[in-house]
Structure 1
Amino acid sequence: MRAGHAHGRQQPTAELSAAVLERVARGDKQAFEELYHRIAGPVYGMALRTLRDRAHAEEVAQEVLLEIWRTAATYRSDRGSVTTWALTIAHRRAVDRVRSVRASTERDDRIARQDPADSEALEDRVVRSIEQARVRSALAGLSQVQREAVVLAYYGGYSQREIAALTHTPLGTVKTRVRDGLLRLRSALGLESSRGGESPQPTETAATERRIGGA
Protein backbone atom coordinates (compact mmCIF):
# COMPACT_ATOMS: atom_id res chain seq x y z
CA MET A 1 0.00 0.00 0.00
CA ARG A 2 1.15 3.52 -0.74
CA ALA A 3 -0.57 6.39 1.03
CA GLY A 4 1.61 9.31 0.02
CA HIS A 5 -0.04 10.52 -3.14
CA ALA A 6 -1.85 13.43 -1.46
CA HIS A 7 0.25 16.13 0.17
CA GLY A 8 -0.51 18.94 2.61
CA ARG A 9 -4.02 19.76 3.79
CA GLN A 10 -6.63 17.34 2.53
CA GLN A 11 -9.94 18.50 1.16
CA PRO A 12 -12.91 17.32 3.24
CA THR A 13 -14.61 14.21 1.95
CA ALA A 14 -17.95 12.64 2.72
CA GLU A 15 -17.82 11.02 6.13
CA LEU A 16 -17.30 7.27 6.18
CA SER A 17 -20.14 5.35 7.72
CA ALA A 18 -19.67 2.94 10.59
CA ALA A 19 -21.22 0.28 8.33
CA VAL A 20 -18.15 0.39 6.08
CA LEU A 21 -15.90 -0.22 9.07
CA GLU A 22 -18.14 -3.06 10.23
CA ARG A 23 -17.64 -4.72 6.83
CA VAL A 24 -13.88 -4.17 7.13
CA ALA A 25 -13.99 -5.84 10.56
CA ARG A 26 -15.56 -8.89 8.90
CA GLY A 27 -12.65 -9.07 6.46
CA ASP A 28 -14.43 -7.47 3.48
CA LYS A 29 -11.56 -6.43 1.21
CA GLN A 30 -13.81 -4.38 -1.05
CA ALA A 31 -14.95 -2.37 1.96
CA PHE A 32 -11.34 -1.82 2.99
CA GLU A 33 -10.49 -0.64 -0.52
CA GLU A 34 -13.31 1.91 -0.24
CA LEU A 35 -12.08 2.99 3.18
CA TYR A 36 -8.48 3.16 1.93
CA HIS A 37 -9.30 5.48 -0.97
CA ARG A 38 -11.32 7.77 1.31
CA ILE A 39 -8.98 7.89 4.33
CA ALA A 40 -5.43 7.36 3.02
CA GLY A 41 -4.96 11.00 1.99
CA PRO A 42 -6.06 12.55 5.32
CA VAL A 43 -4.05 9.95 7.28
CA TYR A 44 -0.92 10.70 5.24
CA GLY A 45 -1.53 14.45 5.61
CA MET A 46 -1.76 14.08 9.38
CA ALA A 47 1.49 12.09 9.52
CA LEU A 48 3.28 14.59 7.26
CA ARG A 49 2.22 17.59 9.35
CA THR A 50 3.56 15.90 12.48
CA LEU A 51 6.75 14.38 11.05
CA ARG A 52 7.63 16.91 8.29
CA ASP A 53 9.33 14.09 6.41
CA ARG A 54 7.60 12.42 3.47
CA ALA A 55 9.36 9.07 3.76
CA HIS A 56 8.53 8.70 7.45
CA ALA A 57 5.00 10.02 6.86
CA GLU A 58 4.33 7.43 4.16
CA GLU A 59 5.63 4.61 6.37
CA VAL A 60 3.47 5.76 9.27
CA ALA A 61 0.40 6.08 7.01
CA GLN A 62 0.87 2.51 5.83
CA GLU A 63 1.20 1.32 9.44
CA VAL A 64 -1.98 3.18 10.39
CA LEU A 65 -3.98 1.73 7.50
CA LEU A 66 -2.84 -1.76 8.44
CA GLU A 67 -3.78 -1.09 12.06
CA ILE A 68 -7.24 0.05 10.97
CA TRP A 69 -7.63 -3.17 8.94
CA ARG A 70 -6.63 -5.28 11.95
CA THR A 71 -8.52 -3.38 14.65
CA ALA A 72 -11.67 -2.22 12.82
CA ALA A 73 -13.78 -4.29 15.21
CA THR A 74 -12.64 -2.11 18.16
CA TYR A 75 -14.17 1.07 16.70
CA ARG A 76 -16.91 2.61 18.84
CA SER A 77 -19.18 5.19 17.26
CA ASP A 78 -19.81 6.90 20.62
CA ARG A 79 -16.16 8.03 20.69
CA GLY A 80 -16.34 9.94 17.39
CA SER A 81 -16.65 9.50 13.65
CA VAL A 82 -14.63 6.99 11.62
CA THR A 83 -12.50 9.84 10.28
CA THR A 84 -11.79 11.20 13.76
CA TRP A 85 -10.87 7.71 14.97
CA ALA A 86 -8.49 7.17 12.05
CA LEU A 87 -6.84 10.59 12.43
CA THR A 88 -6.37 10.05 16.15
CA ILE A 89 -4.57 6.77 15.44
CA ALA A 90 -2.48 8.53 12.79
CA HIS A 91 -1.49 11.32 15.16
CA ARG A 92 -0.55 8.85 17.91
CA ARG A 93 1.57 6.77 15.55
CA ALA A 94 3.27 9.86 14.10
CA VAL A 95 4.14 11.12 17.57
CA ASP A 96 5.53 7.66 18.40
CA ARG A 97 7.72 7.87 15.30
CA VAL A 98 8.96 11.35 16.28
CA ARG A 99 9.94 10.02 19.70
CA SER A 100 11.64 6.98 18.16
CA VAL A 101 13.65 9.04 15.68
CA ARG A 102 14.57 11.58 18.35
CA ALA A 103 15.65 8.87 20.79
CA SER A 104 17.78 7.20 18.12
CA THR A 105 19.44 10.50 17.22
CA GLU A 106 20.12 11.35 20.87
CA ARG A 107 21.55 7.86 21.47
CA ASP A 108 23.85 8.19 18.48
CA ASP A 109 24.97 11.62 19.66
CA ARG A 110 25.75 10.32 23.14
CA ILE A 111 27.77 7.45 21.72
CA ALA A 112 29.65 9.85 19.47
CA ARG A 113 30.45 12.15 22.39
CA GLN A 114 30.97 9.25 24.79
CA ASP A 115 29.19 11.35 27.42
CA PRO A 116 26.37 10.30 29.80
CA ALA A 117 22.84 11.47 29.03
CA ASP A 118 22.24 15.05 30.06
CA SER A 119 20.04 15.11 33.18
CA GLU A 120 18.20 18.25 32.08
CA ALA A 121 17.29 16.66 28.72
CA LEU A 122 15.95 13.62 30.60
CA GLU A 123 13.87 15.88 32.85
CA ASP A 124 12.45 17.66 29.81
CA ARG A 125 11.38 14.33 28.30
CA VAL A 126 9.66 13.31 31.53
CA VAL A 127 7.81 16.65 31.68
CA ARG A 128 6.70 16.29 28.05
CA SER A 129 5.45 12.77 28.73
CA ILE A 130 3.38 13.95 31.70
CA GLU A 131 2.04 16.88 29.66
CA GLN A 132 0.97 14.58 26.82
CA ALA A 133 -0.83 12.28 29.25
CA ARG A 134 -2.70 15.28 30.69
CA VAL A 135 -3.82 16.41 27.23
CA ARG A 136 -5.10 12.91 26.36
CA SER A 137 -6.98 12.79 29.67
CA ALA A 138 -8.44 16.25 29.07
CA LEU A 139 -9.61 15.30 25.57
CA ALA A 140 -11.32 12.22 26.98
CA GLY A 141 -13.32 14.53 29.26
CA LEU A 142 -14.90 16.43 26.38
CA SER A 143 -18.27 15.55 24.95
CA GLN A 144 -18.17 13.39 21.82
CA VAL A 145 -19.04 16.27 19.49
CA GLN A 146 -16.55 18.65 21.14
CA ARG A 147 -13.78 16.06 20.98
CA GLU A 148 -14.53 15.37 17.33
CA ALA A 149 -14.36 19.08 16.43
CA VAL A 150 -11.12 19.64 18.37
CA VAL A 151 -9.46 16.51 16.96
CA LEU A 152 -10.35 17.42 13.39
CA ALA A 153 -9.15 21.00 13.90
CA TYR A 154 -5.88 20.43 15.75
CA TYR A 155 -4.94 16.87 14.82
CA GLY A 156 -6.38 16.83 11.32
CA GLY A 157 -5.57 20.43 10.39
CA TYR A 158 -9.07 21.10 9.04
CA SER A 159 -10.55 24.61 9.08
CA GLN A 160 -13.85 25.11 10.88
CA ARG A 161 -15.61 25.51 7.52
CA GLU A 162 -14.12 22.19 6.35
CA ILE A 163 -15.20 20.49 9.57
CA ALA A 164 -18.73 21.78 8.99
CA ALA A 165 -18.74 20.25 5.50
CA LEU A 166 -17.16 17.00 6.68
CA THR A 167 -19.59 16.44 9.56
CA HIS A 168 -22.67 17.97 7.90
CA THR A 169 -22.95 20.47 10.76
CA PRO A 170 -23.76 24.21 10.60
CA LEU A 171 -20.63 26.36 10.72
CA GLY A 172 -21.88 28.25 13.77
CA THR A 173 -22.33 24.97 15.63
CA VAL A 174 -18.80 23.86 14.74
CA LYS A 175 -17.39 27.17 15.99
CA THR A 176 -19.27 26.75 19.26
CA ARG A 177 -18.03 23.18 19.71
CA VAL A 178 -14.39 24.16 19.08
CA ARG A 179 -14.65 27.18 21.39
CA ASP A 180 -16.36 25.25 24.18
CA GLY A 181 -13.95 22.34 23.75
CA LEU A 182 -10.96 24.67 24.08
CA LEU A 183 -12.48 26.29 27.16
CA ARG A 184 -12.91 22.91 28.82
CA LEU A 185 -9.41 21.84 27.83
CA ARG A 186 -7.99 25.09 29.13
CA SER A 187 -9.70 24.46 32.47
CA ALA A 188 -8.60 20.81 32.63
CA LEU A 189 -4.99 21.78 31.83
CA GLY A 190 -4.91 24.46 34.51
CA LEU A 191 -4.90 27.42 32.10
CA GLU A 192 -7.87 29.22 33.67
CA SER A 193 -7.66 32.99 33.72
CA SER A 194 -9.03 35.40 36.32
CA ARG A 195 -11.70 36.60 33.89
CA GLY A 196 -14.21 33.94 34.92
CA GLY A 197 -16.42 32.75 32.07
CA GLU A 198 -14.99 35.01 29.36
CA SER A 199 -13.81 33.54 26.09
CA PRO A 200 -10.11 32.51 26.00
CA GLN A 201 -7.74 35.24 24.86
CA PRO A 202 -5.43 34.59 21.85
CA THR A 203 -2.38 33.81 23.99
CA GLU A 204 -4.35 31.37 26.13
CA THR A 205 -5.91 29.69 23.10
CA ALA A 206 -2.47 29.36 21.50
CA ALA A 207 -1.12 27.75 24.67
CA THR A 208 -3.96 25.23 24.68
CA GLU A 209 -3.47 24.49 20.96
CA ARG A 210 0.27 23.90 21.48
CA ARG A 211 -0.48 21.39 24.20
CA ILE A 212 -3.05 19.60 22.05
CA GLY A 213 -0.74 19.50 19.03
CA GLY A 214 2.11 18.01 21.05
CA ALA A 215 0.04 15.24 22.65
Structure 2
Amino acid sequence: MPQPEDNWLDGARRLDEEALAAIYDAFNMAIFCYAYRLLGDREVAEEIVAETFYRLLRSIGAGGGPNEHLKAYLYRVAHNLIVDHFRRHPLIELNLDWENVPIQDLSEDPVQEVEHSLEQAKVRRVLWKLTPDQRQVVVLKYFEGLSNHEVSQILDKPVGAVKSLQHRALNALRRMLTPAEA
Protein backbone atom coordinates (compact mmCIF):
# COMPACT_ATOMS: atom_id res chain seq x y z
CA MET A 1 0.00 0.00 0.00
CA PRO A 2 1.58 3.32 -1.05
CA GLN A 3 2.37 5.75 1.73
CA PRO A 4 2.00 9.54 1.41
CA GLU A 5 5.82 9.65 1.56
CA ASP A 6 5.98 7.72 -1.73
CA ASN A 7 3.75 10.28 -3.45
CA TRP A 8 5.75 13.12 -1.92
CA LEU A 9 9.01 11.61 -3.16
CA ASP A 10 7.62 11.23 -6.67
CA GLY A 11 6.51 14.86 -6.60
CA ALA A 12 9.79 16.03 -5.08
CA ARG A 13 11.74 14.38 -7.92
CA ARG A 14 9.69 16.56 -10.29
CA LEU A 15 10.47 19.52 -7.98
CA ASP A 16 6.75 19.92 -7.34
CA GLU A 17 6.40 22.71 -4.78
CA GLU A 18 3.37 21.13 -3.09
CA ALA A 19 5.20 17.83 -2.58
CA LEU A 20 8.28 19.60 -1.24
CA ALA A 21 6.13 21.69 1.10
CA ALA A 22 4.31 18.55 2.28
CA ILE A 23 7.64 16.87 3.08
CA TYR A 24 8.84 19.92 4.98
CA ASP A 25 5.56 20.32 6.86
CA ALA A 26 5.47 16.64 7.77
CA PHE A 27 9.02 16.37 9.08
CA ASN A 28 10.51 19.75 10.00
CA MET A 29 9.23 19.82 13.60
CA ALA A 30 10.24 16.21 14.24
CA ILE A 31 13.76 16.83 12.93
CA PHE A 32 13.97 20.04 14.97
CA CYS A 33 12.88 18.27 18.18
CA TYR A 34 15.35 15.45 17.55
CA ALA A 35 18.23 17.88 16.98
CA TYR A 36 17.25 20.11 19.90
CA ARG A 37 16.98 17.20 22.31
CA LEU A 38 20.48 16.07 21.38
CA LEU A 39 22.11 19.47 21.07
CA GLY A 40 20.30 21.59 23.65
CA ASP A 41 20.71 24.65 21.42
CA ARG A 42 17.73 26.08 19.53
CA GLU A 43 19.77 27.97 16.92
CA VAL A 44 21.99 25.01 16.08
CA ALA A 45 18.92 22.74 15.91
CA GLU A 46 17.33 25.18 13.43
CA GLU A 47 20.53 25.10 11.37
CA ILE A 48 20.43 21.29 11.39
CA VAL A 49 16.83 21.37 10.09
CA ALA A 50 17.71 23.84 7.33
CA GLU A 51 20.78 21.87 6.28
CA THR A 52 18.86 18.56 6.38
CA PHE A 53 16.24 19.83 3.94
CA TYR A 54 18.85 21.59 1.82
CA ARG A 55 20.72 18.29 1.46
CA LEU A 56 17.52 16.48 0.55
CA LEU A 57 16.82 19.03 -2.20
CA ARG A 58 20.42 18.97 -3.43
CA SER A 59 20.40 15.18 -3.53
CA ILE A 60 17.07 15.00 -5.36
CA GLY A 61 18.24 17.69 -7.79
CA ALA A 62 21.31 15.60 -8.58
CA GLY A 63 19.13 12.56 -9.31
CA GLY A 64 19.77 10.91 -5.94
CA GLY A 65 18.02 10.98 -2.63
CA PRO A 66 15.88 8.32 -1.05
CA ASN A 67 13.82 5.88 -3.08
CA GLU A 68 11.85 4.95 0.03
CA HIS A 69 11.95 5.44 3.80
CA LEU A 70 11.97 9.24 3.54
CA LYS A 71 11.60 9.68 7.30
CA ALA A 72 14.62 7.47 8.03
CA TYR A 73 16.59 9.27 5.32
CA LEU A 74 15.90 12.69 6.86
CA TYR A 75 16.76 11.49 10.36
CA ARG A 76 19.96 9.93 9.00
CA VAL A 77 21.00 13.21 7.39
CA ALA A 78 20.21 15.07 10.63
CA HIS A 79 22.10 12.42 12.63
CA ASN A 80 25.19 12.88 10.44
CA LEU A 81 24.99 16.65 10.81
CA ILE A 82 24.68 16.34 14.59
CA VAL A 83 27.68 13.99 14.73
CA ASP A 84 29.66 16.47 12.60
CA HIS A 85 28.63 19.27 14.96
CA PHE A 86 29.84 17.33 18.00
CA ARG A 87 33.14 16.61 16.24
CA ARG A 88 33.65 20.31 15.54
CA HIS A 89 32.43 21.45 18.97
CA PRO A 90 33.34 18.70 21.45
CA LEU A 91 33.25 20.95 24.53
CA ILE A 92 29.92 22.69 24.29
CA GLU A 93 27.88 24.07 27.13
CA LEU A 94 24.46 22.46 26.99
CA ASN A 95 21.43 24.69 27.37
CA LEU A 96 18.82 22.26 28.59
CA ASP A 97 15.80 24.51 28.09
CA TRP A 98 13.45 21.63 27.29
CA GLU A 99 10.28 23.47 28.23
CA ASN A 100 9.95 24.92 24.73
CA VAL A 101 10.14 21.54 22.98
CA PRO A 102 6.71 20.08 22.24
CA ILE A 103 5.85 17.05 24.37
CA GLN A 104 2.94 14.73 23.79
CA ASP A 105 0.01 15.52 26.06
CA LEU A 106 -0.79 12.31 27.90
CA SER A 107 -3.53 13.37 30.26
CA GLU A 108 -6.31 15.82 30.96
CA ASP A 109 -5.63 15.53 34.72
CA PRO A 110 -3.48 18.52 35.86
CA VAL A 111 -1.92 16.58 38.78
CA GLN A 112 -0.94 13.73 36.49
CA GLU A 113 0.42 16.23 33.96
CA VAL A 114 2.61 17.90 36.62
CA GLU A 115 3.88 14.54 37.87
CA HIS A 116 4.59 13.47 34.30
CA SER A 117 6.34 16.76 33.56
CA LEU A 118 8.54 16.48 36.66
CA GLU A 119 9.45 12.90 35.80
CA GLN A 120 10.30 13.90 32.23
CA ALA A 121 12.53 16.72 33.48
CA LYS A 122 14.36 14.26 35.70
CA VAL A 123 14.81 11.82 32.80
CA ARG A 124 16.09 14.60 30.56
CA ARG A 125 18.73 15.60 33.12
CA VAL A 126 20.11 12.08 33.42
CA LEU A 127 19.85 11.50 29.67
CA TRP A 128 23.00 13.59 29.25
CA LYS A 129 24.89 11.10 31.43
CA LEU A 130 24.42 8.33 28.85
CA THR A 131 26.92 7.65 26.07
CA PRO A 132 26.13 9.53 22.84
CA ASP A 133 24.97 6.31 21.11
CA GLN A 134 22.75 5.35 24.04
CA ARG A 135 21.30 8.87 24.18
CA GLN A 136 20.53 8.81 20.44
CA VAL A 137 18.74 5.46 20.73
CA VAL A 138 16.64 6.68 23.68
CA VAL A 139 15.74 9.95 21.95
CA LEU A 140 14.84 8.26 18.67
CA LYS A 141 12.88 5.42 20.29
CA TYR A 142 11.10 7.13 23.16
CA PHE A 143 10.95 10.81 22.27
CA GLU A 144 10.56 10.44 18.50
CA GLY A 145 8.61 7.16 18.61
CA LEU A 146 10.64 5.34 15.96
CA SER A 147 10.94 1.56 15.60
CA ASN A 148 14.15 -0.41 16.14
CA HIS A 149 14.38 -0.88 12.38
CA GLU A 150 14.09 2.87 11.73
CA VAL A 151 16.66 3.64 14.44
CA SER A 152 19.04 1.08 12.93
CA GLN A 153 18.72 2.77 9.52
CA ILE A 154 19.33 6.21 10.99
CA LEU A 155 22.33 5.22 13.10
CA ASP A 156 23.64 2.79 10.47
CA LYS A 157 23.83 0.00 13.04
CA PRO A 158 22.33 -3.50 13.03
CA VAL A 159 18.98 -3.88 14.80
CA GLY A 160 20.72 -6.11 17.38
CA ALA A 161 23.16 -3.30 18.22
CA VAL A 162 20.25 -0.88 18.61
CA LYS A 163 18.51 -3.30 20.98
CA SER A 164 21.73 -3.72 22.97
CA LEU A 165 22.24 0.06 23.22
CA GLN A 166 18.61 0.46 24.25
CA HIS A 167 18.96 -2.23 26.93
CA ARG A 168 22.14 -0.66 28.35
CA ALA A 169 20.65 2.83 28.23
CA LEU A 170 17.46 1.79 30.01
CA ASN A 171 19.45 -0.04 32.69
CA ALA A 172 21.65 3.03 33.19
CA LEU A 173 18.60 5.31 33.36
CA ARG A 174 16.93 2.95 35.81
CA ARG A 175 20.01 3.02 38.07
CA MET A 176 20.24 6.81 37.91
CA LEU A 177 16.53 7.41 38.45
CA THR A 178 15.91 4.84 41.18
CA PRO A 179 16.60 6.23 44.64
CA ALA A 180 19.36 4.37 46.46
CA GLU A 181 18.08 2.38 49.40
CA ALA A 182 19.76 3.33 52.67
TM-score (norm 2): 0.51
In structure 1, the partner of 2:167 is 205
Identify the match of residue 157 of structure 1 among 140, 143, 149: 140
Contact 2:137 2:166 in 1 (8 A): no
User: Taking structure 1 as reference, are residues 176 and 71 closer, same or farther at Cα in structure 2, changes over 3 Å only?
Assistant: closer
In structure 1, the partner of 2:70 is 82
In structure 1, the partner of 2:89 is 101
User: Taking structure 1 as reference, are residues 207 and 20 closer, same or farther at Cα in structure 2, changes over 3 Å only?
Assistant: same
TM-score (norm 1): 0.44
Once the 2 structures are TM-superposed, how far is the Cα of residue 176 of structure 1 from its aligned partner?
10
In structure 1, the partner of 2:19 is 31
Question: 1:188-199, aligned counterparts within 5 Å?
Answer: none
Encode CA deviations 1:130-183: one digit per residue, 9 max, x unaligned: xx9xx8xxxxxxxxxxxxxxxxx82763439944xxxxxxxxxx68999xx977
Identity over aligned residues, as a percent? 18
Question: 1:139-158, aligned counterparts within 5 Å?
Answer: 154=137, 157-158=140-141
* Larger deviation, residues 154-163 vs 17-26: 154-163
Identify the match of residue 52 of structure 1 among 14, 37, 40: 40
Aligned residues: 122
> What do you get for the CA RMSD once the two structures are aligned?
4.2
The amino acid of 1:99's aligned partner reads R
User: Taking structure 1 as reference, are residues 101 and 36 closer, same or farther at Cα in structure 2, changes over 3 Å only?
Assistant: same
SS of aligned partner of 2:89? helix
User: Taking structure 1 as reference, are residues 209 and 45 closer, same or farther at Cα in structure 2, changes over 3 Å only?
Assistant: farther
Once the 2 structures are TM-superposed, how far is the Cα of residue 103 of structure 1 from its aligned partner?
7.8
In the aligned structure 1, how far is the partner of 2:89 from the partner of 2:17? 33
Contact 1:47 1:94 in 2 (8 A): yes
User: Taking structure 1 as reference, are residues 61 and 159 closer, same or farther at Cα in structure 2, changes over 3 Å only?
Assistant: same
Contact 2:138 2:169 in 1 (8 A): no
In the aligned structure 1, how far is the partner of 2:81 from the partner of 2:54? 12
Tell me if 1:68 matches 2:44: no
Once the 2 structures are TM-superposed, how far is the Cα of residue 22 of structure 1 from its aligned partner?
2.2
SS of aligned partner of 1:76? coil
Contact 2:36 2:42 in 1 (8 A): yes
In the aligned structure 1, how far is the partner of 2:77 from the partner of 2:171? 19
Contact 1:154 1:209 in 2 (8 A): no
Tell me which structure has the larger Cα radius of gyration. 1
SS of aligned partner of 1:27? coil
Encode CA deviations 1:43-91: one digit per residue, 9 max, x unaligned: 11121122111111111111111111121332132xxx21111111111
* Unaligned residue ranges in structure 1 (runs of 5+): 1-14, 106-131, 136-152, 164-173, 187-198, 211-215
